[in-house]
Amino acid sequence: MKYNLLLLFTTITFNLLFSQQNIESKFTIPEGFEREIINDYHRWIIKQKLKKNNKVFYTDGSEKVNKNIWAAVFEYDLGTYKYHQCADAAIYLNAMYKYELGKIDQLVYSFTNGDKSSYTEWLDGVNYKLDPDNINKLNKVFGAARKDNLATFYEWLKSIWTWAGTTSLNYDTIEVDIINLRPGDIFNQGGHAISVVDVILNKKTGDKKFMLSQSFMIDPRMGDEQHILLNPRSGDVWYDLNSNYVITPEWSMSPKIIRFK
């Protein structure tokens, strides 16, 4: 009996230490709060894989020092791609959710100049070339049609990231009242974008807390893997909705949010 209990304890400990975790399994919800699944995106984002080693790498492969910045790192193939920066990270989460659910017709995002790029048009063979006479204009050039698969989808995302940024997010989103905050919403201010990835509620008091993630651009050529931010005030991952200002380890935001249309 003692052996069986020891084996069970060892198995549980091993699974906790070495199994693939996600937001739902990794982070403890504070006492008095609970997670109510708001929509399908909420259900999807809290189940996305987190890296086991909790390391963040820059575009060039160098490792970022964790000076109480993050608590976890999303694990996906494009985390250190050259054009994966703050707005790109927000677009990635929205686009991957839609792609995995087969919502291909909804995969449409804007470039900084306001032009739209759709995944269906990418499948039809479109390429984007900078106009030699106008640096603010992209010309569409059609080549061979592409086959729909994950590799093709990734290549399309990279083309979006080449020409998109925090300014382009304004074309694809609407402003919403922060009282109605939900996962997928974005703080987009002062040239930086941070995504909301979880929301919890205290039903007795009505208070809400939320969790944030980002990719941080240290210069125009460099981004890093998307990571879940620590709250420098509390030391955990939860931010209070009733705060007048959202202070993260590397950026501060006023309580103003946008949401993909």
Q: Which of 109-118, 126-135, 139-148 bottoms out in mean pLDDT, i.e. has the lowest?
A: 126-135
Q: How far apart are CA 80 and CA 40, in angstroms?
A: 27
Percent of the chain with pLDDT strictly greater than 70 = 91
List phi, psi (to 5°) of 141: -125, 125
Q: What is the pLDDT of residue 218?
A: 81
- Whether residue 139 is contained in a domain is answered as no
Does 221 score more than 90 pLDDT?
A: no
pLDDT in tens, 10-52: 444 444 455 789 999 999 999 999 999 999 999 999 999 999 9
What percentage of residues in the chain have a pLDDT greater than 90?
79
Residue at 85 is within a domain:
yes
Its domain, for residue 45, covers 22-115+164-260
Answer whether residue 150 is part of any domain.
Answer: no
CA dist list (Å): 135 to 124, 129, 163: 25, 10, 11
Where are the strands (E) in 80-234, listed by range?
108-110, 116-118, 126-130, 138-142, 173-176, 186-189, 192-201, 208-214, 227-229
pLDDT band at 84 (very low <50, low <70, confident <90, very high): confident
pTM over 0.75: yes
> Is 211 inside any structural domain?
yes
pLDDT(233) > 70: yes
What is the predicted pLDDT for the residue at 14? 46
Which tokens belong to 129? Answer: 């070339």
- 167 CB-contact burial (10 Å; exposed 0-12 / middle 13-18 / buried 19+): middle
Asked whether residue 8 carries a pLDDT value surpassing 70, the answer given is: no
> What's the number of domains the chain is made of?
1
Q: How much is the average pLDDT of 98-110?
A: 97
Give the pLDDT of residue 83: 58
Mean pLDDT score, 128-154: 93
pLDDT of residue 10: 45
Residue 243 has a pLDDT of 76
More confidently predicted of 199 and 220: 199
Q: Taking all residues of the chain, what is their mean pLDDT, rounded to a whole number?
A: 91
Alpha helices in 101-175 (DSSP H): 119-123, 150-163, 169-172
Q: Looking at the domain assignment, is residue 4 inside a domain? A: no
Residue 67 forms part of a structural domain:
yes
Residue 208 falls within a domain, yes or no?
A: yes
> Is 135 inside any structural domain?
no
